[in-house]
Amino acid sequence: MGRRILLFILTNILVITTITIVFTVLRMAGVDISTYTAGGGINYLALFIISAVIGFSGSFISLALSRFMAKKMMGVRVIDPGNSTGAERELVEKVHRLSRSAGLMHMPEVGIYNSREVNAFATGPSKKRSLVAVSTGLLNSMDDDAVEGVLAHEVAHVSNGDMVTMTLLQGVVNTFVVFFARIAAAIVSRFVQNDAMRVFVHFGAIIVFQILFSILGSIAVMGFSRYREYHADRGGADLAGKDKMTHALRALQAHVNKVDNSQTSMQTLKINNKSSMAMLFSSHPPLEERIKRLQER
């Protein structure tokens, strides 16, 4: 899965921001679809319900778009299993064999994207509609055992249902983001004396606080993402063998500098994420730590 989380979060922020704007504009126009204020106060139960509707809508829409967005942003060419030959056929057969070993009833789509980086990712809204993609750099640089280890890691993400799990977590985070953003906006707008200006300040404050709290909330999402990477390493070891999984991680470590930074928004989709961001905002633990934990297993 590497972890597609940054794309997921960015899409999610855009979606919940769009929903928020629509809700707010309708309320300003007198279409009362989200009443949570009365008599100058806040109905916290109503606000929480509205926040949950907005929050989970954002995360599930992001999930539904995940495979499509990954293909478009990465330029993934999906391999037709019935019309492939040579190395492409071998790649598809490896993914399908690992998928059957993982107990998947529906085989993931298998794709290749053109990049010198040595990397791979998995994504999709469900086990039935998943995608496993590898870079040309990985195929050209790694031996068969290392490639199998990488693929096993990605198939483990699909088998574990990590995208759905992350969606539920993101939905909870979104709910609290929307909830506290509106409370903060209400507090700020009380300092504005002009009634007309207060409406616009409240609207602007909601957007600003929502984006700010979304960024802070991503710390929790990224932390869980790092945990799921360790879990996928263990799953990959079960599917391909501990030696191949360890070999794959060491091979990635040897190619850590060969990362294509032209698609920075996609770095968290990938098994090998070398990020300049602080660890709190990193979707992947250090490769050294992943190798150590796998060896201690």
DSSP for residue 82: G
Query: Is residue 154 flagged as an active site residue?
Result: yes
10 Å CB burial of residue 263 (0-12, 13-18, 19+) is: middle
Supply 8's token pair.
Answer: 């997921």
User: Do 210 and 16 meet the contact criterion of CB atoms below 8 Å apart?
Assistant: yes
- Strands 109-113 and 41-42, sheet pairing: unpaired
DSSP for residue 270: B
Supply 293's token pair.
Answer: 């934990």
CA pseudo-torsion sign 11, 13, 18, 19: positive
DSSP for residue 106: S
Show contacts of 65-69: CB within 8 Å, 24+ apart.
65/11, 66/4, 66/7, 66/8, 66/11, 66/123, 66/124, 66/125, 66/163, 67/109, 67/123, 67/124, 67/125, 67/129, 67/130, 67/131, 69/7, 69/11
> Which entry of 148, 154, 289, 296 is annotated as an active-site residue?
154
Positions marked catalytic: 154
